[in-house]
Amino acid sequence: MNELISKDIKRNKTRMVKIKVEFLGGLDVIFNKERVHNLNVPKEDPVTMADLLDFIVETMIANKKDVEVFLENGTVRPGIITLINDTDWELEGELEYVLEDGDIISFTSTLHGG
Amino acid sequence: MSSKSFVYVPPSEPVNNKNVKISQLCELCHARKAILKRPKNMQKVCKLCFFHVFETEIHNTIIDNNLFYRGERVAVGASGGKDSTVLAHMLKLLNERHDYGIDIVLLSVDEGIIGYRDDSLATVKRNQKQYGLPLEIVSFKELYNWTMDEIVACAGIRNSCTYCGVFRRQALDRGAEKLGINHVITGHNADDMAETVLMNILRGDVARLEKSTAIITKSKGSPIKRSKPFKYSYQKEIVLYAHYKKLDYFSTECTYAPEAFRGTAREFMKNLESVRPSCIIDIIHSGENLVLKKKDASQTKHGATGFVDGNRCEKCGYLSSNKKCKACILLEGLEANRATISIENDSSVDGAARVMRQLEHMSF
């Protein structure tokens, strides 16, 4: 996939925002059981959290039935905690937050038993 | 796909430290950046202040309700999940900080669910080392001669939570009894409690409704009391606490389907919470203040509810409101259906649920 993206760079001269995304609390099951993903998200305009959610759904969730485990009504499903650099995204503007290089975004499910 | 040994990987430490605006400061210390808005009161707090208030609130709950006495031995019901892992960590911390003088033991129940409980027990065993606490494991197999995998193979997947719930409750008591401990502490949190209140209202279960918000429960005649120090703690804050403290917990959904009714109630609560975060504590508050009309004397005399506290099961001697306890009734049903011929060393039912799950997800 990295190759594809780098070809894409040459063609469109788009830039990337480099971030780390983590799926915790059991959420990794819908992401090939991989908790940590280093991502290069193509950017033309500033990349927001809303763009990141689209990117995750389009490129990272293999089984489309699993999308509803992650999203509901166009945003992260209630019961999943979203942190931007360890700060609750409620305090960072949620979907409007503009990603920067080096950001760490984590999604932690609280929906399973304790 | 054997259960690969699970290695704990802590969440990454953020590297992007940006300039903090005044509006982003913690409302308690006014010095550091706020990292969360507390759901119960919408207060914005930083990581260190969060640790302090969260720990202090639980300490206050323990003190206000006289949960422990000096010299008491307590068993923490430990599943390896987020709630019980934070509970074990928290009790050890508070016991040292505030000198409660209690003796803490971890008590786990092995239901016999391959691909789920074996992995979570591995987490408990790591916690045992991390916290330096003794651990006792009681298993369904040794207590009832049935594993959950065998029960599901025999009785089907639909009632799995009923069997598991009844047996687990009893297993915790029996484990405590074995250790000579009279106090079992569980990690039930505010979300669990609000969910239970809601379910009892929706089911019209009046008998349970009044009791469902008690922080300490004890059946008449039973030496074992149960308590819930996280009664007022939000699940979200428990998970965040575990995240920030980098506690090693196990998080995989049980391989068996969750009870549909509870699942729906939980989803409903989560949706309510996203609109009005205080609703969880509000539901508990309503539950606590709900006083039901006294029953007619004539009704109670005849035991209209059929509920007698302090009875013992005629078969196993365990506390039961009826002649036979629920576990024995379930076991009788199971025994009647157990295959009469068995293959030596047959392991075909081990992990049956996991196979079923995999089959469900297969498609052409």
Its domain, for residue B207, covers 68-291
What is the C-alpha to C-alpha distance for residues B152 and B154, in angstroms, rounded to an integer?
A: 5
Tens digits of residue pLDDT in A63-75: 888 898 899 989 9
Are B282 and B315 found together in one domain? no
Which of the two residues, B345 and B140, has the higher pLDDT score?
B140
- CA-to-CA distance for A43 and A61, rounded, in angstroms? 20
Q: Is the pLDDT of residue B35 over 60?
A: yes
Of the two residues B327 and B295, the one the predictor is more confident about is B327
Within 8 A by CB and 6+ apart from B109, the residues are: B77, B79, B137, B138, B139, B140, B168, B171, B172, B175
Looking at the fold, whether B316 and B276 belong to one and the same domain comes out as: no
**Interface contact B239-A81, CB threshold 8 A:** yes
The fold of the A14-109 domain, in CATH, is: Ubiquitin-like (UB roll) (3.10.20)
In a domain, B90, yes or no: yes
Angle between helix axes B326-337 and B160-179 (nearest 10 degrees) is: 120
Residues B263 and B317 in one domain: no
Measured in angstroms, the CA of A82 and the nearest CA of chain B are apart by: 10
Identify the domain boundary among B258, B291, B324.
B291
User: Does B9 contact A36 at a Cβ distance shorter than 8 Å?
Assistant: yes
Say yes or no: A104 contacts chain B, CB-CB below 8 A. yes
Closest CA to B131 of B164, B162, B161, B94: B94
Please report whether residue B359 resides in a domain.
no
Same domain for B81 and B192: yes
Distance CA B350, CA B146 (A): 12
Residue B210 lies in a domain: yes
Query: CATH number of the domain that B201 lies in?
Result: 3.40.50.620
Residues of B near A (Cβ–Cβ under 8 Å) read 9, 11-16, 24, 33-37, 44, 47, 79, 81-84, 187-189, 192, 235-236, 238-240, 243-244, 251-254, 258, 266-267, 270-271, 273-274, 361
CB atoms within 10 A of CB B114: 21
**Amino acid found at B11:** P
pLDDT at B75: 96
Statement: residue B170 has pLDDT above 60: yes
B145 lies in a domain?
yes
Task: Answer yes or no: do B213 and B333 share one domain.
Answer: no
Domains of chain A, by residue range, sit at: 14-109
Residue B50 placed within a domain? no
Residues of each annotated binding site of B for ATP: 77-79, 83, 109, 187, 192
- What mean pLDDT do residues A82-110 have? 94
Interaxial angle between packed helices B190-203 and B260-275, expressed in degrees from 0 to 180 and rounded to the nearest 10? 120
Angstroms from B339 CA to nearest CA on chain A: 32
pTM > 0.90: no
Tell whether B227 and B335 lie within a shared domain: no
List the beta bridge partners of residue B227: B185, B216
A64 lies within 8 A of chain B by CB: no
Answer yes or no: do B190 and B322 share one domain.
Answer: no
Is the pLDDT confidence value at B19 over 60?
yes
Whether residue B230 is found in the same domain as residue B325: no
Residue in A20, A78, A90 nearest the CB of B270: A78
Asked whether residue B259 falls in the same domain as residue B329, the answer is no
For residues B220 and B148, membership in a common domain is answered with yes
Report DSSP state, residue A20. Answer: E
Which amino acid, B333? G
Tens digits of residue pLDDT in B290-314: 877 776 655 544 444 444 556 788 8
Number of domains in chain B: 2
- The answer to whether residues B82 and B238 touch, using CB atoms and an 8 Å cutoff, is yes
Which residues lie closer than 8 Å to B113 by C-beta, 6 or more apart?
B147, B148, B149, B254, B255, B256, B353
Q: Report the distance separating Cα B91 and Cα B95, nearest Å.
A: 6
Least confident of A21-25, A26-30, B189-193: A26-30
pLDDT digits over B71-115, tens only?
Answer: 999 999 999 899 999 999 999 999 999 999 999 999 999 988 888
A18 touches chain B (CB under 8 A): no
For residues B254 and B322, membership in a common domain is answered with no
B29 within some domain: no
Q: What is the pLDDT of residue A97?
A: 95
